[in-house]
Every structure is written in C-alpha cells, then in structure tokens.
Chain A
Amino acid sequence: MSATTLTLRRFNAVDVILWLLRIGVLLIVVIGTLATLIKARYTIAQWLDFVMFGLTIGSIYAQIALGYTMVYGVLRLINFAHGDIVMTGAFAGYFAAAGFDRSGLLESRPVLAMAGILLVAVLTSTCIAVLTERIAYRPFRRVQGLAPLICAIGVSFFLEQTFRGLFGSSVKSYPDPSWLRAAFVVFGFRIPRVDVLVIGLALVFMALLYMVVQRTRMGTAMRAVAEDAEAAALMGIDVNRVIVFTFMLGGVMAGIAGVFYAFLYKQVYFFMGFTPGIKAFGAAVLGGIGSIPGAMLGGFFLGMVESVGPTLFLDGIGIPAPYQLRDLIAFTLLIMVLIFRPQGILGERMARKRA
C-alpha cells in the first residue's frame, strides 16, 4: 500500500513539472504570437516570405530525414553518417556544376545541366551509401548494444576527414546561373524561382519515393523487413538485398538534397553535412522515426518553426536578436511534441511492444 502511494507521488511530481513546462511553453507561444500580430510590424508579403523560406529549408530537411527514417525502419540503426552522405552528393554536384558553368552549358541548357549535376551527385552519394553499408554496417548487423551507433559516428568522421584531405578545408562556391536568380510575381508577391524549384522537385521526388515503397515488390519487401526482419526472411525475402536497396534509396534522396542545399546556400565544404544532418534527424524523430510520411512532415514542420518561429513567438514579447535562439525554439518544440506524443507525430504506438 505504502509503496503504491510512494510511486504515485513520485509520478505526480514529474507530471506537475511536465505540465508546468507544457503550460509555460504554450503561454510563450500564444502570448508571443498575439503580441507580434498586434504590433503588426511585418507586411503580409514579409510573412509570406517567412513561410516560403521555411518550406524551402523544410523540403531539404524532409529529404534528408527520409534517409534516417528508412534505415531506422529496416535496421533499427541511427545512421549518423547520413548528413555526410549529403555532403558527398553536394561535392560531386559541385564539380559537375563548376564544369558546366565554365563551358556555358549551365546558362544555355539549364534542364540538361541540372539533370547532369543531379545524376553525378546521386550516383556518388548512392555509391557511398551502399559502400558504407557493405563495409561498415554489415559486420555490425548482429552486434547488440551501442557498437553500431558508434560505428556510424566513426563513418561520419571518416567521410568528413576524407573529403577534407581530398579537396581541402576551404569553402567552395556553387555557380549562380541567371535563370535561378529570377523570381515569380504572384498577386504582387515576389517568390524566388529557386525556392519554387527546390520545393516542387522535392515534392516530386518524395512522391516518387513513396510510390516505390508502397507500390513496388521491393518496397513491399522493405516494409515487411521493417515490421519483422526474421519473419520476412522466413517468407523468402532476401533481407540483405532489401537493406542495400534501403541504403540506395536513402543515398538517392541524400544526393538530391545535397545539390538543392548547395544551390540554395552556395557554399560546400567538408563539414557542411553535419548541421543539416542533425536537424533532419530531429525532423525524423519528430515525425515518428520509421515512418516515411512522418519524416516528410517533420522536415517541413522543423523548417517552418525555424523560419517563422523566432519572429512569431519572440518578437512580440520583446526578446532581442530572436534568430540567435532559432535552434533553441526548434528543438524546444521538438521536445514538446515528444512529451505529448512520444512516438512522434505519425509514429506508431510502441506501447504494445513494451507491455
């Protein structure tokens, strides 16, 4: 009896703190938002800009997050090197882009040049992703504990330092073709063409990926392995092939994301994959790790919070330099979502397994 009361009381204290945290964050969000809107410092066009910026970076996070979530789905492994695989794609794309830029092809035949750049980037990142699986992760497949995770971190360092050794540690700059600099004007609002391109193509590629996973035999096998690898193997599914295929899909998305990221922000260097990698991992957890639509949703959510959040929540309550707190806001909201829904927005309930 007394033991039960004690346990109850302990739970209550934690609950109270958690509830206070939730109420506190919600209050800041609500009061801040209202105050910002009442102040009316920004025009509608500026708000639209904030949303567009958020969707653009969000679409990149979403594509990277897919790589994390698919690998986690089939292997229960957090592939920490995935951000660096994005970097390898961006680097390979850089060499193609710089070549096309010098020959004038990037200016005169944009579609052809972009297809070429994407192809080079995707081939590189896919090869590296598959090689990583074969050389580094497969020997750890049956190892319990943290060893596979540590191995993934090691692969991340290896890729970073290899690229640093090969191509130096300075920043390389993607070309800036004139057709990418233009902007669409819709109802008087200016929307940069590069944003539309990045978001649009990202949606197309993600839809394609979703079709592959849902409609093809390989996709079905992937889902079967994710659900229960042993049962899938007993049903005659070649688990190794499925895993290689998963890494391939992740590598393809990483290559595309790397090129888009580099066309948006221009700078490529050996360490560039780290931050977007961590953020995309956060997005994957937010959406529910293992869930493909969840990763996409999480990416867009994180991008939007990063872009709109500091202004919307903090401007109104008079906090100076709110963009310094961008990551804090994004990750606080991430924690909040996880407090309310530990399995992530679209994640499946784990409770059944635990019980």
Chain B
Amino acid sequence: MRNTARGLLAGLVTGLAASGVLLGVPPAMAATVGPVTDDIGVVRIAKGAPIQIGGYWVLSGPDTALGLDERRGVEIAMKDAGDSLLGHPLKLVAEDDGCNAEGGQTAATKLAANPQIVIVLGPACSSSNTPAAPILWQAGITDIDTAATAPALTAANRKPEYDGLVRTVFSDADQGKADAAYIFNVLKARRAVAMHDGSPYAQQLAAVFAANFKQLGGEVLSTEAVAPTDVDMHPVLTRIASEKPDVLYLPMFIAATAQILRQAKDTSGLEHTHMFGGSSLAAADFIEAAGPAVVGFQIGYPDLSPEAMGQGYPKFVEEYKKAYGEGPISGFHANAYDAATMAFKAIQAVAKTDDAGNLYIGRKALRDAVFATKFEGIAGPVACDPHGQCSQLKAAVFEFTSADPKTYGIGKNPKKVYPPSH
C-alpha cells in the first residue's frame, strides 16, 4: 500500500518535471559534479573516453549534398584539431534529419537522449532546426547551427526556448534584402512573383524579399506556394504566367525548384521571366535534376571567392579535396568548419579536469562561452550578438553555366556574376 502511494508520488513528480520541460526552458537542476557546479547540468567524461559532439544534417534524399558538405566541414575541423581535445579523443555522432520538421525532431530527441553529448552542430535546414533547437536546449545542449538561415531563428524577439541556439551562418534577413536589391537595381525588374514551399526557410526568405522589393519601389504581384514534394508545377506556373512577372523569386529546395525550371520552359507566357533562386541549390544534384533548364538560372549565394572568405579557406579547400577526392559539393562547409572550431574553443574555455584525469563540462557555462567566443573563421569573422547571430552575409549572385553535373564547382558552374570581381 505504501509502495503504491510512493509510486503515485513519484509519478506526480515525474509529471511535474515533464510539464516543466514543456515550457521549453531547461529544467533548473543545478548540479555539482567533480570540480564543476552548473545551473543546468554537468557532463562528465571519464579519463580516456571520447568527447562526443552531436551533429544533424540532411544526409538522405534530394538535398543530401547540402548536409553532407557540412558534415565534411566538421570532420575536417576535427582532423585539424588532431582528432582530440584536452587529451580526449573527439567523436562525431551524426544524425540524418531529412531536411524536414519530423526528421529534426527525431534527430534532436535522439541526441538529447544521449547524456554524453556535449554540444550539437547543425543542421542545414531551418525546417529541422525550428523544432530541434528547443528539444536540445531542454536537455541543456547548445546547438551551433551551420546553415539554417531563417531570420526567426536569431530574431531579437525569439522565444527563450531558442536561448541555446547560435549560428555561424548569415541570416536570410540579409539574404532577402541583397536579392531584392540585385533584382531591382541590376536586373531592373519591377514586377516580381515570390514563391515558397511552406518551409520556414523559403517562407521567411520569400517574405523578406517581398518586403524589401516593395520598399525599393517594385511590385510583388503575388506570393505563391507549392509543397516540397509536388511534381506537377504546370498549373501553378500557368497561374503565374497570367500575371506576367519580370522575375520569379523561388528560394526553395532542389526537387521542387528543378521541376519548376523544367516545366517553366514549356509554359507559355513565362518565356521572358527571369528565374532567381536561393542558396540551397548550389549542388551537382540540382544540375542533374533540372537538366538543360538550369543554364542561365541565378541564385543569391554567399560570396565564396577567396578574397571574400577568411584566411584559412584556400588551405581548407585543399584538405577537402585530398580527403574526399572532390571539391566542396555545396556551399556551407566553411560555416560548418567554423561552427566546429567555435565548439572546440568554448569547450577548452570551460572544461575542467580533476586529478584522476576525468573531464567536466558545465552546460550553462558552455552555452555562455559559445556566445562569448570570438575568432577569425575561414568563412569570415565569428562574433555573436545577444540573439545568437554570429556571422554576417557577404552577398553575391551566381549563375549556372552548364547542364552537365560533372562541371559543377562553385565559382565555375555556378559562376559568380555579381558583384563584379576586381
């Protein structure tokens, strides 16, 4: 009988704790383990045991190259650190998030369930980052985002459940503005249709673009939407053709964008409409998927030319080629490398070793150290504002020059067309 009552009480306490978790803030469980006291928890790594770094990216499906490229950036950073930190080997625990919300949730839950995960890097997609970051932060884990660019993730009014998220990649608040300026000032387009696929990335970027384009004096005829898995784009394109836009702004992912490019070619009324896409499209798979329709297609993209990148970038590209037998397969490897570097620096700043050689890392302390880390990254300077934005955009425009996927290479195909090199 007493046992039952105790069981009930335990159930109630667990329930209460769970409801605290629902609030999205890490449960206040000030802990003292070894020499470290921390507000939300301490990771203890036994002598000789590896420091486990979590990672989650899109590693399957049409957008694989985007995520795999970032994972490689992290792997190279680990190699550069000698695969060890503070006398412990480094171990990457990478999950696939499929570039969607469900995948992000699953990946984050798996990582959060592993108490040995010190910090998490990734993801590539805002769709997965949006639900994942709060799950990680509930477990007290800091997440350094390597390529998810949705403005809301580091907006000044973001919710406390995102307190554990920083990113070493630019915000689309800047990308949308730069794209609008290029399309209005350089292409001289005045009538635009924006398009998204319902993902936080595309939806927010299309909205930022539309607002900036209107501000410049352009007209946004409509904002259209499709599903990322849609294949028959003819009806929506016919609808867009009836509005006679100068430019179609479509910052979406590979499968849907490729369908739109191909099918726009045989939609009457779109012959003179300029197509402009986003940074998730710089991949050989996109050239394969879009076929001949890709030639002349432009994307707004961070400037990856050596003069725009940080100092270590050319050396990094050499290492990349040596390790994987090919040049970078997408655009955010350098941001991922910087994210890993940032994590290592922060861990070094807060970790404490006891006499027996065990390592202790306070979770709250680590989060604060990440926010305070400043250095020259290979993608440019890294320094965080109070909302976790640690990198700035150097905008450029790239254009695809060939339909042969083998010619892919950032700088060659797609080739930088703006700003003009000097």
Contact = CB atoms under 8 A, between A and B. Distances in A.
A323 B60 contact: no
A190 B268 contact: yes
A145 interface: no
Interface string A35-56: 0000001110110011001100
A50 B238 contact: yes
A42 B232 CA distance: 19
B198 to A, nearest CB: 6
A315 B235 CA distance: 13
B225 A173 contact: no
B232 A57 contact: yes
Interface stretch (B285-293, B303-311, B362-370): B285-293
17 contacts: A41-B242, A46-B238, A46-B242, A49-B234, A49-B267, A170-B62, A170-B285, A171-B289, A264-B231, A266-B289, A267-B62, A269-B61, A275-B229, A307-B235, A321-B222, A323-B225, A326-B230
B232 A265 contact: yes
Contact of A53 (B62, B230, B232): B232
A171 B254 contact: yes
A348 interface: no
A323 B223 CA distance: 11
Given A50-B235, A53-B232, A176 B291 contact: yes
A323 B226 contact: yes
Nearest to A164: B60
B64 A321 contact: no
Interface string B257-293: 0110010001111000000000000000100110110
B236 interface: yes
Nearest to A275: B229
Contact of A192 (B258, B266, B269): B266
A322 B191 CA distance: 20
A183 interface: yes
A171 B222 contact: no
A33 to B, nearest CB: 16
Contacts of B266: 181, 183, 192
A324 B198 contact: yes
A13 B286 CA distance: 53
Contacts of A324: 198, 224-227
Interface string B239-254: 1011000000000001
Contacts of B178: none
A327 interface: yes
Given A45-B268, A164-B60, A275-B229, A321 B224 contact: yes
Contacts of A306: 232, 235
A266 B285 contact: no
B305 to A, nearest CB: 27
A171 B241 contact: no
A165 to B, nearest CB: 11
A173 B289 contact: yes
Interface residues of A, number: 41
A22 interface: no
Given A45-B268, A321-B223, A324-B227, A267 B259 contact: yes
Nearest to A50: B235
B406 to A, nearest CB: 13
A271 B285 CA distance: 16
Interface in A278-318: 306-308, 310-311, 315
A54 B289 CA distance: 23
Contacts of A54: 235
B37 to A, nearest CB: 45
Contacts of B227: 324, 326-327
Interface of A: 41-43, 45-46, 49-50, 53-54, 57, 164, 169-173, 176, 181, 183, 190, 192, 264-267, 269, 271, 275, 306-308, 310-311, 315, 320-324, 326-327
Contact of B258 (A46, A49, A267): A267
Interface in B208-240: 222-227, 229-232, 234-236, 238-239
A42 B266 CA distance: 17
B255 interface: yes
Contacts of B198: 324
A145 to B, nearest CB: 28
B196 to A, nearest CB: 8
Given A41-B242, A45-B268, A173-B288, A321 B225 contact: yes
Contact of A271 (B61, B234, B269, B292): B61
B197 to A, nearest CB: 9
Nearest to A53: B234
A153 to B, nearest CB: 17
Nearest to B239: A311
In this complex, the member of B234, B235, B241, B266 whose beta carbon has the largest number of chain A beta carbons within 10 angstroms is B235
A245 to B, nearest CB: 31
Contact of A269 (B62, B238, B291): B62
Contacts of B292: 176
Given A171-B62, A265-B231, A311-B239, A323 B291 contact: no
A187 B258 CA distance: 31
Contacts of A45: 268
Contacts of B234: 49, 53, 307
A267 B61 contact: no
Nearest to B197: A324
B53 to A, nearest CB: 24
Contacts of B60: 164, 169
Contacts of B288: 170-173
Contacts of A183: 266
B64 A170 contact: yes
Closest 4 CB pairs of A and B: A324-B225, A321-B225, A323-B236, A265-B231
B285 A53 contact: no
A306 B226 CA distance: 12
A266 B288 CA distance: 10
A7 B230 CA distance: 45
Contacts of B258: 171, 266-267
A310 to B, nearest CB: 7
A46 B229 CA distance: 24
A43 B239 CA distance: 11
In this complex, the member of A43, A267, A327 whose beta carbon has the largest number of chain B beta carbons within 10 angstroms is A267
A173 B291 contact: yes
A274 to B, nearest CB: 8
Contacts of B255: 171, 267
In this complex, the member of A176, A190, A275, A324 whose beta carbon has the largest number of chain B beta carbons within 10 angstroms is A324
A265 B259 contact: yes
Contacts of A181: 266
Contacts of B61: 169, 269, 271
Contacts of A275: 229, 231
A49 B238 contact: yes
Contacts of B241: 46
